[in-house]
């Protein structure tokens, strides 16, 4: 999930992906202005038509809500997610998605009452829903309970998969709120991180997969357009790594993505670049590549 810079930057927690599998769909932290779906044609119109044709299908409204959100049309996303919750009122993900869209659509109130109600409903249905947990902690902080908010965020951090793309933003949120309110957090962050089990291998377990919304949206797109969408996301990851070459998990993600797309030469090239940028971690990168079936 992501919040625009105008809404208290310390609130921003990008790419709240839920653990899963597969390639470039996990790149939810792409800028909100990017629209890889639209670049492949006009699937948004098809999603709109599909939702109207099946008003009782929560998946159709969820796919449309995600597409609107990704296009920066947050008010429209909120309307679509509201329809989804009407069709499937016991789905926590739909309720927390609705809450986030309503927060993003609000120009003045950082936590509109309707959004708060949606997050509370999501937490009631699933106490572990990470998006609801994050935003309910935001509500506590906005209400002046800074220590309580930090405690909630630390608990979420303790449940966050190692190497998750939102991990750094969550840590930064805790650090910034702690600094603003003179609350020591460094040791508590370390303790929260120390509670997490070590991943079996970063190539497979440390990097979370797509959100449920992304998978639903991807499933509604024709295979050719799905590939174009994936390739666009992978290209953005590669560009990001050019600016942040020390991101070893990112290189492993890129290698796996290229391999999954059938781009063996590009996967091998990514390995070469990763090793050149991180010679001290050559053995780790080559082990990951070997498990992925990549060799130079």
User: What confidence score (pLDDT) does residue 236 get?
Assistant: 77
**Is the domain of 129 the same as that of 260?**
no
Position 20 scores a pLDDT of 24
Nearest to 220 by CA among 45, 24, 31, 87: 45
Task: Write out the E strands in 12-148.
Answer: none
The answer to whether residue 147 is domain-embedded is yes
* Residue segments in the chain with a per-residue pLDDT below the cut of 70: 1-43, 162-166, 197-232, 261
Residue 214 lies in a domain: no
Which of 159, 194, 229 is the C-terminal boundary of a domain?
Answer: 194
CA atoms within 13 A on the CB side of 168: 5
Q: Torsions phi, psi of 65, nearest 5? A: -60, -45
- pLDDT tens-digit profile of 22-51? 222 222 333 333 333 333 446 688 889 989
Confidence at residue 140, expressed as pLDDT on a 0 to 100 scale:
95
Structure confidence at residue 5 (pLDDT) = 36
The answer to whether 24 and 266 are in contact (CB under 8 A) is no
Q: Are residues 44 and 169 in the same domain?
A: yes
Instruction: Evaluate whether residue 266 is within a structural domain.
Output: yes
Whether 179 and 263 map to the same domain: the answer is: no
Q: What is the pLDDT of residue 35?
A: 36
Same domain for 284 and 186: no
In a domain, 237, yes or no: no
Q: 27 and 125 share a domain?
A: yes
Q: Is residue 29 included in any domain, yes or no?
A: yes
For residues 168 and 55, membership in a common domain is answered with: yes
Please, which residues have CB within 8 angstroms of residue 3's CB and are 6 or more apart in sequence? 11, 12, 13, 103, 104
Q: What is the pLDDT of residue 228?
A: 57
Report yes or no on 233 lying in a domain.
Answer: no
- Average pLDDT value for the chain: 76
Secondary structure percentages of the chain, helix, strand, coil, to 5:
65, 0, 35
pLDDT in tens, 180-224: 999 999 999 999 998 875 554 444 444 334 444 544 454 444 544
The verdict on residue 258 lying in a domain is yes
What pLDDT is attached to residue 227?
Answer: 56
In a domain, 254, yes or no: yes
**24 and 156 both lie in a single domain:** yes
pLDDT at 243: 85
CATH code of residue 50: 1.25.40.10
Token code pair at residue 195 = 């509670």
Number of domains in the chain: 2
pLDDT of residue 208: 38
Q: Which domain holds residue 248?
A: 244-291
With b meaning 16 or more CB within 10 Å and e meaning fewer, what string describes 82-92? bbbbebbeebb
Return the pLDDT at 230: 64
């Amino acid at each position: 999930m992501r919040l625009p810079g105008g809404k208290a930057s310390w609130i921003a927690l990008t790419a709240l992906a839920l653990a899963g599998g597969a390639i470039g769909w996990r790149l939810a932290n792409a800028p909100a202005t990017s629209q890889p779906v639209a670049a492949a044609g006009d699937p948004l119109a098809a999603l709109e038509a599909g939702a109207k044709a099946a008003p009782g299908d929560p998946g159709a409204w969820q796919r449309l809500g995600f597409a609107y959100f990704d296009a920066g049309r947050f008010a429209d996303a909120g309307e679509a997610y509201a329809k989804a919750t009407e069709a499937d009122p016991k789905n926590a993900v739909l309720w927390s998605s609705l809450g986030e869209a309503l927060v993003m659509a609000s120009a003045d109130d950082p936590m509109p009452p309707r959004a708060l109600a949606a997050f509370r409903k999501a937490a009631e249905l699933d106490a572990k829903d990470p998006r609801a947990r994050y935003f309910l902690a935001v509500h506590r902080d906005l209400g002046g309970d800074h220590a309580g908010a930090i405690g909630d965020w630390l608990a979420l951090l303790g449940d966050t998969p190692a190497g998750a793309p939102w991990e750094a933003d969550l840590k930064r949120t805790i650090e910034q709120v702690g600094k603003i309110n003179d609350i020591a957090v460094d040791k508590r962050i370390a303790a929260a991180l120390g509670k997490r089990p070590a991943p079996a291998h970063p190539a497979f377990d440390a990097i979370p997969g797509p959100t449920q919304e992304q998978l639903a949206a991807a499933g509604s797109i024709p295979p050719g357009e799905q590939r174009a969408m994936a390739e666009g996301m992978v290209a953005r990851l590669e560009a990001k790594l050019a600016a942040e070459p020390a991101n070893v998990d990112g290189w492993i993600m890129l290698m796996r993505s290229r391999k999954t797309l059938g781009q063996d030469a590009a996967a091998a090239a990514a390995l070469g670049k990763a090793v050149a940028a991180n010679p001290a971690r050559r053995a780790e990168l080559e082990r990951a590549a070997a498990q992925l079936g990549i060799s130079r």
